[in-house]
Amino acid sequence: MLNKEELIRYNRQIILPDFGIEGQEKLKSSSVLVIGAGGLGIPNLSYLAAAGVGRIGLVEFDEISLSNLQRQVMYKTNQAGESKGKSAVNVIQELNPNVLVDYFETRLDAENALEIIGDFDLVVDGSDNLPTRYLVNDACVLLGKPLVYAAVFRYEGQVSVFNALRKDGSRGPNYRDLFPTPPPPEMVPSCNEGGVFGALTGIIGAMQANEAIKLLAGLGIRLDGRLFLFDSQYFTARFLNVKSNPDNPVSGDHPTITQLIDYEAFCGLSEVENEADEITVQELYQMIKSGKTPFILDVREPYEYAISNLNGLNIPLFELGLELERLSQNETIVIHCKSGQRSQKALEFLKKEGFSKLKNLKGGILAWQKEIDHSMEIY
């Protein structure tokens, strides 16, 4: 039952055709888990809380950084370095004290995903990486939970509803019907590398929240079996039909995935298997101190290099194939990026091009800041 305050708060929603008090009570009795409080997560959290979803779960472990503020409009400049999750929870509770918020300050993984997701009616995925997308999808399929999916990159965004329960009792297509296997890591630039248009995250995130509210309240036609694609630069939109694949490894006729797997390995993002390919920041520092500075290759973007660097040669990862003549196969090359992931991709690429004297700086420039130079600024 809705109390007097709730009847007033949700009045503009309750008077909508096909919504009414029944729809509002459905929202109040529902629970949604939002993965991430970033560019996509923020509009979801805001609109789900404002709409009156009774219980919202949030999975987030990251801190607020200055580079988030261009699109993550829930946070303020003076909050840099603070917990995203805690800040988001405070905002939700101030926005609507009727909403119960469960905060999971952890990284979602194969060990905890089923337990966390299993306690909610619906999942909204606001993550920004492939391993988490496959993990969340598989967990939702195994648990029989609907999933509202979205992704953004540069000026383009996409939204869909996966694993939706249909009237005949069957489930709609899921992420693996659209993308059965991940592309090679070197073919998937992150937002750190490729950028993202700030307002786009608000548009796509609000579309996710729209689909989530419709699902919970039983409204309209869902994006079940359809992928919505939006180009914000040219303001064009189109739909792709998504069909269930009988060979889908998690939901097909003969599923081969019956429990969660190592999604970092599945997406080709596992830690370096051969430790001989790694060098620590302490080892590199000692080499530089002794006057034996190796050739350092920085595969971050130019703007990252301009903020702070190790005086290496800057060739962004996705330009590396065009700049091979600037590198020598006869000398050891220490490759680094921000955290070690892009540099690992660069190492694997250069190996295929015939380079053998390669080292990946473990932990990247973040480790250098933490262990060697605390004054170094990193965006």
Q: pLDDT, tens digit, for every residue of 159-186?
A: 999 999 999 999 999 999 999 888 766 5
Active site residue 337: yes
Burial of 149 (0-12, 13-18, 19+ CB in 10 A): buried
Catalytic residue among 50, 191, 219, 272: 191
pLDDT, one tens digit per residue, over 205-225 is: 999 999 999 999 999 999 999
Same domain, 243 and 284: no
pLDDT band of residue 265 (cuts 50, 70, 90) is: confident
Same domain, 191 and 309: no
Domains identified in the chain, total number: 2
Nearest to residue 58, comparing CAs of 42, 72, 74?
Answer: 42
CATH of the domain at 292: 3.40.250.10
Active site residue 267: no
> Lowest-pLDDT range, 220-229, 245-254, 256-265, 285-294?
256-265
pLDDT for res 185: 60
Mean pLDDT, range 104-129, rounded to an integer: 96
For residue 239, list its beta bridge partners.
228
pLDDT for res 272: 47
Catalytic residue among 51, 337, 358, 378: 337
379 falls within a domain: no
Same domain, 90 and 158: yes
Is the pLDDT assigned to residue 188 strictly greater than 70?
Answer: no
Same domain, 281 and 259: no
Average pLDDT, the chain: 92
299 falls within a domain: yes
376 falls within a domain: no
378 falls within a domain: no
Q: Which domain holds residue 316?
A: 275-371
Other CB atoms closer than 10 Å to residue 179's CB: what's the count? 13
Q: CA 170, CA 233: separation in Å to the nearest integer?
A: 37
pLDDT band of residue 193 (cuts 50, 70, 90) is: low
pLDDT, one tens digit per residue, over 16-58 is: 999 999 999 999 999 999 999 999 999 999 999 999 999 999 9
